[in-house]
A and B are shown apart, each in its own frame.
Chain A
């Protein structure tokens, strides 16, 4: 199965669309800080059924890994830097996350039914 260039165009178009899409205006956003090997705040409230960006800022020198089986995420956050991770849309409930590089640090994302209550 030899593939000609024109068959690649859809793939290139998809890649381009994805890149352009990621540059679009941002949606709801919240932040989470790692300081002295703890998550601050330990409970992050987010609106239910909404995709939300969590900016995880690591203020320690030691790298961290924001990991959650409940949220299906695993993201390394280098020391003294920030990484964005998107979660949701989630049904109302509690979702545990932890630092895979230091299991002493953990927290919860709480998906709250009424967006105004956060």
Chain B
């Protein structure tokens, strides 16, 4: 039941993401509402047809109908994407084809959307060539830091995640953290994590430790190709785990409504000391469709943990009359190799005020 709910939620997220991209990309194209609506209707109709004929399809060809259908859909997807790439390469340069190109992009995406109600094919695509399995990952790494510091702004933040995995030892593990921050200057924001808990299926809730984290904004907005910040934090763990420090650059670049954020973080154990540095990177991309709804995705790469994760995340901010902001982001990052959890559900809420 939970698995079905997860698939439905993920597919709805994906549909919203794709529709937002289509709506954003086709701004200014005549009758785009009609085209997008037609795409949605086609998608719903296609999903309906597949749902109604699911059992008939499954019985076809001595019960290999379902795999054949999945293979067919994937094949169409590959052909569409290849055609799209070739078409773009051939026609993309001419400004006169710009509007046509937008229309084309839309057609190709709506074709994709029509397929998206078929979750098993999406899952198949994600799992192509991947080995199944699961392992633990440091949950507090599932965040992408922005390099900006706003002078005198204070912040209360909640971050939580829940793992879903084939392995019963990992599945159901949830972690959450509560922190407070205040920017004393326009370039330095210290943050104190008051509570870091992890709730594992067998062991129950445990305090993980405390963390003192600092974000430094090194460049002023827009001065260089990307805005640069620096993260430096000290993490004290109470559960017999070693203390560690983390540091590295935080990069952000905006192009119109598209926001890219990249973190390159090095981590080193200091008590007991280790001479090794573990590297990880986090990347997020979002489209600022509406302040309250900004679809995007996040990617986490931790070579030292052999963990690679990626998935859709929705971001948003809600404003109050006094200039305070409530920011949220929620989504799911899927494990794309054996040592990453199958899925990590994320929720972050922060209240920023002066």
Docked Cα-Cα span, A69 to B257, in Å, equals 5
Residues facing A in B220-244 (CB within 8 A) are: 220-224, 228, 230
The chain A residue with its CB closest to the CB of B248 is A11
Asked whether B224 lies within 8 Å of A18 as measured between CB atoms, the reply is: yes
Say yes or no: A63 contacts B221, CB within 8 Å: no
**CA of A83 to CA of B219 in the docked complex: distance in angstroms?**
12
Count, chain B residues at interface, CB 8 A: 36
Task: Verify B256–A72 contact, CB threshold 8 A.
Answer: yes
Expressed in whole angstroms, the Cα–Cα distance for A83 and B275 within the complex equals 41
List of B residues within 8 angstroms of A116 by Cβ? none
Task: Map CB proximity to B onto A49-81 as digits: 1 under 8 Å, 0 otherwise.
Answer: 001010000000011100001111111101101
The binding surface of chain A is classed by DSSP as mixed
- Chain A proximity mask over B285-298: 1 for CB below 8 Å, otherwise 0: 00010010000000
A63 to B230, CA, bound (A): 25
Q: Is A104 an interface residue (CB 8 A)?
A: no
Which B residues touch A25, using CB under 8 A?
A: none
Residues on the A chain within 8 Å of B94, using CB: none
**B268-319 contacts to A (CB < 8 Å):** 275-279, 288, 291, 303-304, 319
With A85-B220, A87-B222 as contacts: A2 and B319 at CB distance below 8 Å: no
Chain B residues within 8 Å of A53, by CB: 220, 223
Minimum CB–CB distance for B260 against chain A, Å: 11
* Residues of chain A lying within 8 A (CB to CB) of residue B218: 15, 18-19, 22
- Check B254 against A3 for contact (C-beta < 8 Å): no
CB distance from B86 to the nearest CB of A (A): 30
**A78 with B277: CB separation less than 8 A:** no
Over the window 67-108 of chain A, the binary record of Cβ atoms lying under 8 Å from chain B Cβ atoms (1 yes, 0 no) is 001111111101101011111000000000000110000000
Do A2 and B304 touch (CB < 8 A)?
A: yes
A-B contact count, CB below 8 Å?
Answer: 92
Q: Which residue of A lies closest to B222 (CB)?
A: A86
Q: Are A79 and B220 in contact (CB under 8 A)?
A: no
Interface string of A7-18 (1 = CB under 8 A from B): 110010011001
- In the docked arrangement, what's the CA distance between A3 and B281, Å? 14
Given A11-B264, A62-B323, A69-B288, residue A75 in contact with residue B256 (CB < 8 A): no
Contact between chains at B279 and A76 (CB < 8 Å): no
| Cβ contacts under 8 Å, B275 to chain A | 4
Q: Which of B145-153, B157-165, B170-178 contacts A (4 or more CB under 8 A)?
A: B145-153
B266 is an interface residue with CB less than 8 A from chain A: yes
Q: Which residue of A lies closest to B303 (CB)?
A: A1
| In contact, B322 and A22 (Cβ under 8 angstroms) | no
Contact of B221 among A5, A21, A70, A86 (CB under 8 A): A86
- Nearest CB in chain A to that of B252: its residue: A74
List residues of chain A with CB within 8 A of the CB of B220: 22, 53, 84-86
Using CB atoms, name the residue of chain B closest to A63: B323
Q: Check A3 against B323 for contact (C-beta < 8 Å).
A: no
Shortest CB-to-CB span from B342 to chain A, Å, is 23
Closest 7 CB pairs of A and B: A86-B222, A63-B323, A72-B254, A2-B276, A1-B303, A3-B277, A76-B150
Please name 24 pairs of A and B residues whose Cβ atoms are closer than 8 Å in the assembled complex, sorted by A: A3-B276, A3-B278, A4-B277, A5-B277, A7-B277, A8-B277, A11-B249, A11-B264, A15-B218, A18-B228, A19-B218, A21-B219, A53-B220, A62-B323, A63-B354, A69-B256, A72-B256, A73-B221, A75-B148, A78-B151, A79-B323, A83-B186, A84-B220, A85-B221
